[in-house]
Amino acid sequence: RYELREDFAVVVQPFFRNTMLPLDSDGKPDLSFFAADCFHFSERGYAEMAMALWNNMMEPIGEKQTYNNFTYDRSKLKCPNPEKPFLSTLRNSGFRNSALNLDNSVPSVPYWAVIVAAVAGILVGSL
């Protein structure tokens, strides 16, 4: 939907897709990455996630890291280089032809199918 826009882009950042729990030296979950409720991240955990997100935004489409190794090493931050001083998008990554032709695209699911499925789900659920 946004691939033809020159002034806007949507890019999925998969840095958390295959992430494992960080472990301490004993092989147990490292609780320093989590808040007291053991569900939310601590300041250290949020810093790690922020670094992973930043790195993902610097990586070209098709080469994005899908995991976070929780090393808490600020030297692993990726910086823009003079040849590519911008965030990576589909158009500037060279992943697809920059002259996209999406005029003849058809949605994969018709809008009415979603409505029918929702109504059918409600009816089946109420029975």
The string of pLDDT tens digits covering residues 55-78 is 999 988 888 988 887 876 777 888
Q: Identify whether the C-beta of residue 8 lies closer than 8 Å to the C-beta of residue 60.
A: no
Whether pLDDT at 35 is above 90: yes
Q: Identify whether the C-beta of residue 20 lies closer than 8 Å to the C-beta of residue 68.
A: no
Picking from 80-84, 110-114, 116-120, which range would have the lowest pLDDT averaged per residue?
Answer: 110-114
**Cα dist from 107 to 17, 104, 112, whole Å:** 26, 10, 12
Tokens of 13: 């950042």
Q: What is the pLDDT averaged over residues 108-125?
A: 81
Phi and psi at residue 23, in whole multiples of 5°? -110, 150
- Strand, coil or helix: what is 53? helix
Q: What angle do CA 62, 71, 78 make, to 5 degrees?
A: 45
Q: With bands split at pLDDT 50, 70 and 90, how would you rate the model's confidence at 26?
A: very high
pLDDT of residue 95: 65
Q: With bands split at pLDDT 50, 70 and 90, how would you rate the model's confidence at 42?
A: very high
Of 91, 87, 86, nearest to 4 (Cα)? 91
Q: With bands split at pLDDT 50, 70 and 90, how would you rate the model's confidence at 106?
A: low
